[in-house]
């Protein structure tokens, strides 16, 4: 069955991957992913089942217009620096007098992780698309973009919103379909009005967070919360620790991978000013290869990230070797065993400035923004023990997970009243500037990659060697921990 699906859908496995792989593979926009750069025509299909709360169509439509400052369009324009420009059409309501799912789904409710819904769900999705086409929607107009920035025969995005109890899922329809494709054929993507539909996002009607989150899967992003629910997973991310009444921006790694960030590669030592992520899109990267650190400026004051109570630097330890596979169908593994499930070695770790790692404590853990973000006087440097990071050794540092020092330091943080944050960053002084995300185009290469400069200590422009840098990093960490301990004593 798997081999047949690959033959039908791919033709060749060399350049294609799973649709939810956090961009392990980028060349499969259309076949496996929705476009994420440039214009896009998105279709929202409301599906209303009798006996459940009816849609507030005015509210639903408003959320998907460009006029809603808190809405779907404005979120993507803000998060992408205007590089992704969706236009959304809300289709006529598809109405059902009774639940279109089999009787075992009482009240038309689907429990999270219930894989028995797959077969019935495929029929439900197919019928919803068929009825929408019969209602006069021209699906051919939904194809204006693709991997090369032009129409490619695949729709730019379809989302189904139901008024029944439902969380959300992004479903690779074309991978699972073995039935009617609506164009006289069997299996693979649906074909309607001459264009193909390979993946569909599905959410409930009253959960705007999930509506944007699930659409992120169509763009190639994977879940960053803990699938086992032992802790929330990655905070400060729309794809992570769920959920919030307000939309929050994607984390630095997600925006970096989507090429929605102006990213700066650090080489040597620099004193830099980092603008708020919601207005500048800045991401600062320390280290290269598969394991590195990312920094961004997050806090309240913008349209999104309203839940933040303080502004500071969000620091992420990224290891792309954690369960990120580009193989076809791997999204099923990630639904059951997500990339951020290991709280002590996830794909993306929120490093917490107070070093207490309270976000790892339980699924009920919530950010303490004042102490988890890196703020005035905080620092991050090497752990001299060289011990691997783990539950038995939860020491915040810039060491790699193996315990090996990375040569990375973060110090002298000052949050300005206007919002930008001044900070001193240090990374290795050579061989940091050649990493690229792609050959050409926006976001493929760093905006800057500076040469090493003088280490200014106490007003003196002095070059400090590796041993001196390690010693200074340890002193900064000791000062930071003492200050945090004093703060907690004062608070009782």
pLDDT in tens, 35-46: 999 999 999 999
Give the 3-state secondary structure of residue 449: strand
Residue 243: cis peptide before it, omega within 30 degrees of 0: yes
Q: pLDDT confidence of 335, banded at 50, 70, 90?
A: confident
Across 471-480, average pLDDT: 49
Give, as one character, the DSSP assignment of residue 180. Answer: B
Whether pLDDT at 490 is above 60: no
- Per-residue burial over 21-37, b = 16 or more CB atoms within 10 Å of its CB, e = otherwise: bbbbbbebbbbbbbbbb
Partner residues linked to 149 by β-bridges: none
Which pLDDT band holds residue 336 (cuts at 50, 70, 90)? confident
Query: Residue 464: what pLDDT?
Result: 38
3-state secondary structure of 393: strand
Taking 70 as the threshold, does the pLDDT of residue 465 lie above it? Answer: no
Summary mean pLDDT of the chain: 86
Average pLDDT over residues 124-141: 96
Distance (Å, rounded) from C-alpha 378 to C-alpha 484?
A: 9
User: Closest Cα to residue 310, out of 378, 262, 362?
Assistant: 378
Q: Does residue 141 have a pLDDT over 80?
A: yes
pLDDT, residue 112, reads 59
248-266 b/e with 16+ CB inside 10 Å = b? bbbbbbbbbbbbbbbbbbb
Angle at 144 between CA 161 and CA 162, to 5 degrees: 5
DSSP 313-344: EEEEEEETTSS---STTTHHHHHHS-TT--TT
CA gap 201, 210 in Å, rounded: 10
Confidence category of residue 467, pLDDT binned at 50, 70, 90: very low
pLDDT at 155 over 90: yes
What DSSP element (H or E) covers 63?
helix 57-63
* Average pLDDT for 207-228: 92
DSSP letter, residue 6: H
What confidence category does residue 326 fall into, taking pLDDT thresholds of 50, 70 and 90?
confident
- pLDDT band, residue 8 (cuts 50/70/90): very low
- pLDDT band at residue 117 using 50, 70 and 90 as cut-offs: low
Helix 208-218, helix 72-79: angle, nearest 10: 50
pTM for this predicted structure? 0.87
- For 229, the token pair is 């629910």
Contact assessment for residue 53 and residue 238, using Cβ atoms and an 8 Å cutoff: no
C-alpha neighbours within 13 Å on the C-beta side of residue 481: 14
The residue among 156 and 110 whose pLDDT is bigger is: 156
Write out the DSSP string of 418-439: TS-EEEEEEE-SSS-S---SSS
Residue 113 confidence (pLDDT): 56
Q: Which two tokens stand for residue 183?
A: 């164009």
Could you say which DSSP state residue 337 is in?
S
| Pair 347, 322: CB distance under 8 Å | yes
**What's residue 388's pLDDT?**
97
Q: What is the pLDDT of residues 234-284, one digit of tens each?
A: 999 999 976 566 789 999 999 999 999 999 999 999 999 999 999 999 999
Classify 79 as helix, strand or coil: helix
Sequence-distant (6+) residues with CB within 8 A of 75 are: 212, 247, 304
> How confident is residue 473, by pLDDT bands cut at 50, 70 and 90?
very low
- C-alpha to C-alpha distance for 409 and 177, rounded to whole angstroms: 50
- Integer-rounded Cα Rg, in Å, for the chain is 24
Which structure tokens are listed for 298?
């997050």
Look at residue 437 and tell me whether its pLDDT is greater than 80.
yes
Higher pLDDT, 15 or 139: 139
Decide if pLDDT at 175 tops 80: yes
Confidence grade of residue 26 (pLDDT, cut at 50, 70, 90) = confident
Please report, rounded to a whole number, the percentage of residues in the chain having pLDDT higher than 70.
84
pLDDT at 118: 67
Give every CB contact of residue 2 below 8 A, 6+ residues apart in sequence.
Answer: 328, 329
């Amino acid at each position: 069955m798997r081999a047949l699906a690959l033959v039908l859908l791919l033709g060749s496995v060399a350049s294609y991957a799973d649709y939810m792989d956090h961009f392990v593979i980028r060349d499969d926009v259309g076949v496996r992913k929705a476009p994420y750069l440039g214009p896009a025509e998105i279709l929202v299909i409301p599906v209303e089942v009798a006996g459940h709360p009816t849609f507030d169509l005015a509210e639903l439509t408003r959320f998907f217009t460009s006029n809603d400052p808190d809405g779907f369009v404005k979120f993507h324009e803000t998060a992408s620096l205007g590089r992704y420009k969706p236009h959304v059409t809300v289709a006529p309501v598809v109405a059902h007098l009774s639940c279109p799912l089999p009787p075992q789904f009482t009240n038309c409710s689907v429990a999270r992780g219930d894989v028995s819904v797959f077969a019935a769900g495929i029929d439900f999705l197919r019928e919803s698309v068929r009825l929408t086409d019969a209602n006069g929607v021209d699906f051919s107009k939904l194809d204006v973009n693709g991997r090369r920035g032009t129409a490619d025969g695949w729709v730019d995005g379809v989302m189904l919103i139901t008024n029944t109890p439902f969380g959300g899922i992004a479903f690779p329809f074309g991978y699972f379909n073995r039935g009617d494709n609506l164009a006289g054929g069997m299996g693979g993507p649906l074909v309607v009005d001459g264009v193909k539909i390979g993946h569909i996002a599905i959410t409930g009607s009253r959960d705007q967070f999930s509506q944007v989150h699930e659409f992120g899967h169509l763009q190639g992003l994977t879940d960053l919360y803990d699938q086992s629910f032992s802790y929330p997973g990655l905070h400060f991310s729309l794809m992570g620790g769920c959920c919030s009444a307000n939309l929050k921006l994607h984390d630095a790694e997600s925006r970096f991978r989507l090429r929605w960030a102006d990213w700066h590669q650090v080489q040597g030592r620099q004193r830099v000013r980092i603008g708020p992520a919601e207005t500048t899109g800045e991401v600062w990267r320390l280290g290269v290869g598969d394991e590195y650190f990312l920094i961004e400026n997050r806090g309240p004051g913008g349209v999104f990230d309203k839940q933040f109570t303080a502004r500071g630097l969000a620091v992420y330890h990224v290891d792309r070797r954690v369960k990120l596979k580009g193989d076809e169908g791997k999204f099923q593994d990630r639904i059951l065993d997500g990339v951020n499930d290991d709280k002590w070695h996830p794909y993306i770790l929120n490093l917490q400035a107070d070093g207490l790692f309270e976000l790892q404590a339980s699924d009920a853990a919530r950010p303490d923004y004042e102490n988890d973000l890196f703020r005035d006087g905080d620092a991050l440097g090497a752990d001299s023990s060289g011990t691997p990071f783990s539950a038995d050794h939860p020491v915040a540092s810039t060491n790699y997970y193996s315990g090996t020092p990375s040569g990375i330091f973060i110090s002298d943080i000052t949050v300005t009243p206007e919002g930008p944050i001044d900070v001193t960053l240090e990374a290795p002084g050579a061989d940091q500037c050649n990493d690229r995300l792609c050959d050409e185009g926006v976001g493929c290469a760093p905006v800057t990659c500076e040469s090493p400069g003088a280490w200014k200590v106490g007003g003196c422009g002095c070059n400090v060697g590796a041993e001196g840098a390690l010693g200074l990093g340890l002193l900064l960490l000791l000062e930071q921990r003492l200050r945090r301990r004093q703060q907690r004593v004062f608070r009782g």
